[in-house]
Amino acid sequence: MTTPNMILLYVNDTAASAAFYGHLLGHPAASLSPNFAALPLDNGLTLGLWGRAQANPATTAAANGANGEIVFMVENKDRIDALYADWQQRGLQIEQALTVLDFGPTFVALDPDGHRLRVCLQDE
């Protein structure tokens, strides 16, 4: 079976998105060109950021950028609370305030292009 190894987001400004994710994730892009950036993640995945205007085949923006979510599953509620406070302090737009849903405590922030960034508990 082939295992996915990249999450690809279409972005309006590659450099701005690379800076945003580099700061959020704690390490800069490993490669950066005017239309593409790659940020290797600690778990072996790569976050790819492709300039929407140059994507081939062409893509269209979803309403509020929300075709899906990047999910950060963490070990406990204290970590969720800490990330919520940190991301607010960094100025991330909070789309869904810290709440409890069927799967537990969670919140959603947005990146500069409106992609959803959800934080919740790890699956058990």
Ordered structural domains, the chain, with CATH = 6-54 (3.30.720.120), 64-121 (3.10.180.10)
Q: What is the pLDDT of residues 45-99, one digit of tens each?
A: 999 999 988 887 877 766 555 567 899 999 999 999 999 999 999 999 999 999 9
Res 124: pLDDT: 64
0.85 cut: is pTM over it? no
CB 46, CB 36: distance < 8 Å: no
Straight-line distance from the first to the last Cα atom of the chain, in angstroms, rounded to the nearest whole number:
24
Q: What is the pLDDT of residues 21-34, one digit of tens each?
A: 999 999 899 999 99
Six token digits for residue 64: 């509020």
